[in-house]
Structure 1
């Protein structure tokens, strides 16, 4: 990926699980492919709409259904990514016996934080 967004290190400086990293990359590639396909679908939908030809307009119905299905897939992929990321952070924080640290330097421990 550009600039190698995933360097293989988490915020504690420990090595992220290679399988988790591979899953992230795979899902982001899938999302990008679907978004590229959506761009093409939207262009075709717009062209059909501008043409005002009956057959083209009726074809838009199936194109819009395909676009909606693709959007659902992207949402599902991002949901999976979010879940995987959360699980990987839980696992990596379990290995850190010193406790988590907030950005202001105070130790968090296992207490639930309220927004300030």
Structure 2
């Protein structure tokens, strides 16, 4: 099903399976980080509710870890976006040649009747 989604992108052009694997790997990394963040947030909340000084001071490190994880997710999405754009540009190069041919034909004079 995922392959169907990616293969239909780019005006019907087939997207290379290596690109799909890269996307899937990146999305898996993002999901793992988000799962880790959920656990961190739960622990941070429990520590906060406990109001125990050691737990509250531990939250400083947990919040730093959470912030670093968020940065990693942002970086992964930026890389994904860049990769996706490059793959679409590469797959549409063939389309643009066809478009230029169509435009050239459209630019020819036509004789209209009536």
Structure 1 CA distance, aligned partners of 2:24 and 2:94? 24
Q: Work out whether residues 40 and 66 of structure 2, in 8 Å CA contact, stay in contact via their aligned partners in 1.
A: yes
Point out the structure with max Rg over C-alpha.
2
Return 5+ residue gaps in structure 1 as ranges. 101-106, 108-116
**How many residues are matched?**
98
Higher relative contact order (CA 8 A, sep 6+): 2
2:60 match:
61
What's the C-alpha RMSD, in Å, of the aligned pairs? 1.6
Shift of 1:12: 2.0
The offset of 1:92, in angstroms, is 0.5
Can you give the 5+ residue segments of structure 2 that lack an aligned partner in the other structure? 104-114
Residue equivalent to 2:22? 23
TM-score by length of 1: 0.79
Matches of 2:63 and 2:3 in 1, distance apart?
A: 34
- State the distance in 2 between where 1:80 and 1:27 align: 9
1:99 has 2:99 as partner? yes
